[in-house]
Structure 1
Amino acid sequence: MGGRHFVRRVWGGWRRALGVGATPKDAGFGTEARHQRQPRGSSKRPWRLGDQPFPGLLRPEGLSRAELVEVLRAAVVDQKGPLVTLNKPLGLPVTGKPGELTLLSVLPELSRALGLEEKELQVVRAPEKEASGLVLLSSCPQTASRLQKFFIHSRRAQRPTATYCAVTNGIPDTSEGTIQAALKVEPVDGVNLVVPVQHPSRKDNLEGVKRTLSHFRVVATGSGCALVQLQPLTVFPTQLQVHLVLQLCPVLGDHVHAARVGTVLGQRFLLPAETTKPRAQVLDEALLRRLHLTPSQASRLPLHLHLHCLLLPGTRPRDGPVELLAPLPPYFSRTLQCLGLCQQ
Structure 2
Amino acid sequence: MLTVLAPEMGGCRVLGQVWGGWRRGPGVRAAPTASSFGTEARHQQQRRGSSKRSGPLDDQPFSGLLRPENLSREELVDVLRAAVVDQKGPLVTLNKPQGLPVTGKPGELTLLSVLPELSQSLGLGERELQVVRASGKETSGLVLLSSCPQTASRLQKFFTHSQRARRPTVTYCAVTDGIPATSEGTIQAALKLEHIDGVNLVVPVKSPSRKDILEGVKRTLSYFRVVATGSGCALVQLQPLTGPG
Per the normalisation by structure 1, the TM-score is: 0.45
Mark the CA change 1:91 to 1:225 in structure 2 (over 3 Å): closer, same or farther. farther
CA distance in 1, matches of 2:186, 2:125: 45
CA distance in 1, matches of 2:98, 2:195: 24
Q: What does residue 143 of structure 1 align with?
A: 151
Contact kept in structure 2, 1:216 and 1:229, CA below 8 Å: yes
Q: What does residue 233 of structure 1 align with?
A: 241
CA deviation map 1:141-185 (0-9, x unaligned) = 32222111111222233321101223455654433210235x475
CA distance in 1, matches of 2:137, 2:28: 30
Residue 66 of structure 2: SS of its match in structure 1? Answer: coil
1:92 Cα deviation after fit: 3.2
Mark the CA change 1:167 to 1:143 in structure 2 (over 3 Å): closer, same or farther. same
More strand by share: 2
Per the normalisation by structure 2, the TM-score is: 0.60
1:44 aligns with 2:47: yes
Residue 44 of structure 1: SS of its match in structure 2? Answer: helix
CA distance in 2, matches of 1:59, 1:199: 31
Residue 80 of structure 2: SS of its match in structure 1? Answer: helix
CA distance in 2, matches of 1:123, 1:100: 17
CA distance in 2, matches of 1:151, 1:64: 32
The structure with the larger Rg is 1
Q: For the aligned residues, what is the CA RMSD?
A: 4.3
1:87 Cα deviation after fit: 2.5
Across the two proteins, how many residue pairs are aligned to each other?
Answer: 197
Counterparts of residues 97-116 of structure 1 (less than 5 Å) = 97-116=105-124
Mark the CA change 1:184 to 1:226 in structure 2 (over 3 Å): closer, same or farther. closer
Counterparts of residues 34-183 of structure 1 (less than 5 Å) = 44-45=47-48, 47-50=55-58, 58=64, 60-61=66-67, 62-168=70-176, 172-181=180-189, 183=190
1:117 Cα deviation after fit: 3.0
Q: What does residue 3 of structure 2 align with?
A: none
Mark the CA change 1:68 to 1:188 in structure 2 (over 3 Å): closer, same or farther. closer
Counterparts of residues 1-344 of structure 1 (less than 5 Å) = 27=27, 44-45=47-48, 47-50=55-58, 58=64, 60-61=66-67, 62-168=70-176, 172-181=180-189, 183=190, 195=205, 211-220=219-228, 226-235=234-243
Residue 115 of structure 1: SS of its match in structure 2? Answer: coil
Unmatched 5+ stretches in structure 1: 1-17, 30-39, 240-344
CA distance in 2, matches of 1:229, 1:109: 36
2:184 aligned partner, one-letter code: E
1:220 Cα deviation after fit: 4.9
CA distance in 1, matches of 2:241, 2:224: 11
CA distance in 2, matches of 1:92, 1:119: 23
Q: What does residue 11 of structure 2 align with?
A: none
CA distance in 2, matches of 1:77, 1:117: 20
Contact kept in structure 2, 1:48 and 1:58, CA below 8 Å: no
Contact kept in structure 1, 2:168 and 2:240, CA below 8 Å: yes
CA distance in 2, matches of 1:83, 1:127: 17
CA deviation map 1:289-331 (0-9, x unaligned) = xxxxxxxxxxxxxxxxxxxxxxxxxxxxxxxxxxxxxxxxxxx
CA distance in 1, matches of 2:143, 2:122: 15
Over the matched positions of the two proteins, sequence identity in percent amounts to 71
1:118 aligned partner, one-letter code: E
Contact kept in structure 1, 2:191 and 2:219, CA below 8 Å: no
1:130 Cα deviation after fit: 4.4
2:151 aligned partner, one-letter code: T
Mark the CA change 1:171 to 1:95 in structure 2 (over 3 Å): closer, same or farther. farther
Mark the CA change 1:133 to 1:193 in structure 2 (over 3 Å): closer, same or farther. closer
Residue 69 of structure 1: SS of its match in structure 2? Answer: helix
1:140 Cα deviation after fit: 2.5
CA distance in 1, matches of 2:230, 2:105: 41
